Amino acid sequence: DDGRGIPVETHKEQKRPAVEVVMTMLHAGGKFDSETYKVSGGLHGVGVSVVNALAEQLDLEIRRDGKIHKQSYSRGDIQTPLEVIGETEETGTKITFLPDRKIFTETVFSFDIIAGRMRELAFLNKGLTINLFDERTDKKRSYHFEGGIRSYVELLNKHKETTGDPLYVDKEKDGTGVEIAMQWNDGYTETIYSYVNSINTIEGGTHLSGFKTALTRSVNSYATKSGLFKAKGESLSGEDVREGLTMVLSIKAKDPQFEGQTKTKLGNNEIRGIVESVVGEYLGDFFEENPAVAKRIVEKGLAASRAREAARKARELTRRKSALESGNLPGKLADCTERDPARAELYIVEGESAGGSAKQGRERAFQAILPIKGKIINVEKARLDKVLSNEEIRTVITAIGCGIDEEVELEKARYQKIIIMTDADVDGAHIRTLLLTFLFRRMRKLVDAGFVYIAQPPLYRVRKGRSEWYAYSEEDREKILEEIGENRRGVQVQRYKGLGEMNPDQLWETTMDPDKRTLLKVGMEDAVGADDIFSVLMGEKVEPRRKFIEEHAAGVSNLDI
């Protein structure tokens, strides 16, 4: 980096170079000296000292006070004394490290994970430039956003119709910096990211509570004052107001208190009041000065409110039924006898015939089967009331049993493996995509928790005499045929188009037997990227989809025409 460089002067208490204290002692980070950093994401001051301890080699180069200083470490121990190796007018620190292979079984760095975090940091610190080079593949990225989180919100809404420019506030109150960018779009889901000192607080906390309270209060206050409510005493809920909202909230706090070690939820009570005050004041002024935008926001909330009321009755059907009330589970569900969710699996299977084979071939003790017919509703283009009026969706929600949207309670999920099993053709891929869109938009916590999987049924069966092999890809098939060798007389190759072409035993052996099957786990390395791709492929706008298809057409290996 081109910062100030880690201090090299003698530490007052330790009587040795300050850099050695930082590199080798726990709880010695710059965050503990309020003069050094105004705010810091560190909690314990252990970051670089832990990296040093877990590196078989770490080389340090510091440019500070006109000199270049160098030092080497191995597994936290000093290998060479701190020495001056040259002069410079620049400042900053360069750290090169190799993870300890005795501790880490895998030391492969994921470019995409690092790139996602670097981009996030560049958004959150406007004007900062971060360059990322992957010398293994020559991949390069440079991130710099003058607009900061405003640019972040614009990126998130890139493929959606919006209600005007992002609303933006950047203010300091009682020593806490509050920066917010928000913009409504024509979609039906809220996309909210909250940060404290550049740390993603994925579980929210007091800062997010303060924002939500102020937003709901401000919209209701304006609507009442402007006569936009028809009935006396009418009001909008927070859920109504936030429908279609994309918002990034970034707090800079001197002493953040997090709940738990993972820093995913902020606990400072005073920050709730600070954010509430800043947002309330800003929105009050904004709505007065921009009545047309305010009216559109209220009208969108009113439409959401009407839909919510229509969805209320349908939502009752989604409430979790306990094991004792299993009579309320969908009739199509062939449940398992296992009552421990950690051991229970739910196969969502395309088609009644495949569902029948799966029911016969499964292990009844821990595998439940839910057949769904036809294509479910595309939730990217539908409001909740429409989503819940779709029978197949209701069946899936009721079977899983943990509720939807903000009501999802993971501990109430009846299965911790939810496996999508569809045909290996275009229709099957479409149904799988519709189910993934639903799970991502309406039951996101299941995806985050790693409960969602995709079954991998074979594409081919190769038979010769009494021997048979299953191929899960074109490469597999070629390999099997190569192994059979020159004598291919009597070889039969069957291409499976649908799951229904397999009998129950074959389905069990190839796709459902835990000892032999392959499952793809659905996860997210880049939540923003996932959000964007669902918007492009499943959203209302045709142009981004056409562009995506044109750009990726050459990479299609299995085209079903």
User: Which amino acids are annotated catalytic?
Assistant: 350, 423, 425, 427
Q: In sequence order, which ranges of 418-525 are alpha helices (DSSP H)?
A: 426-442, 444-448, 474-484, 504-507
Residue 23 CA to residue 28 CA, distance in Å, equals 8
DSSP structural state of residue 27:
T
CA-to-CA separations, 368 to 380, 424, 514, in angstroms, rounded: 28, 21, 14
Residue 145 CA to residue 29 CA, distance in Å, equals 28
- Residue by residue, DSSP assigns 208-250 as HHHHHHHHHHHHHHHHHHTT--SSTT----HHHHTTTEEEEEE
CA-to-CA separations, 197 to 121, 251, 509, in angstroms, rounded: 10, 6, 51
- Residue by residue, DSSP assigns 356-374 as HHHHHHS-TTTEEEEEE-S
CA angle centred on 383, ends 382 and 384, rounded to 5° = 120
Residue 18 CA to residue 20 CA, distance in Å, equals 5
Bin 110: left if φ > 0, else alpha if -120 < ψ < 50, else beta.
beta
Q: What are phi and psi of 130, to 5 degrees?
A: -120, 125
Residue 53 CA to residue 165 CA, distance in Å, equals 48
Residue 192 CA to residue 65 CA, distance in Å, equals 43
Closest alpha carbon to 419 in 348, 491, 512, 516 = 348
CA-to-CA separations, 485 to 332, 436, 460, 481, 491, in angstroms, rounded: 46, 41, 18, 6, 11
Cβ neighbours for 304, distance < 8 A, ≥ 6 positions apart: 188, 236, 239, 240, 241, 243, 244, 383
Residue 218 CA to residue 294 CA, distance in Å, equals 10
Q: Find the length of the chain.
A: 561
CA angle centred on 222, ends 216 and 223, rounded to 5° = 90
CA angle centred on 57, ends 52 and 62, rounded to 5° = 70
- Contact present, 555 and 180 (Cβ < 8 Å): no
Q: Which two tokens stand for residue 447?
A: 């995806």
**Tokens 């005493």 identify what position?**
233
The 3-class SS string of 506-558 reads HHHHHHHCCCCCCEEECCCCCHHHHHHHHHHHHCCCCHHHHHHHHHHHHHCCC
Cβ neighbours for 559, distance < 8 A, ≥ 6 positions apart: none
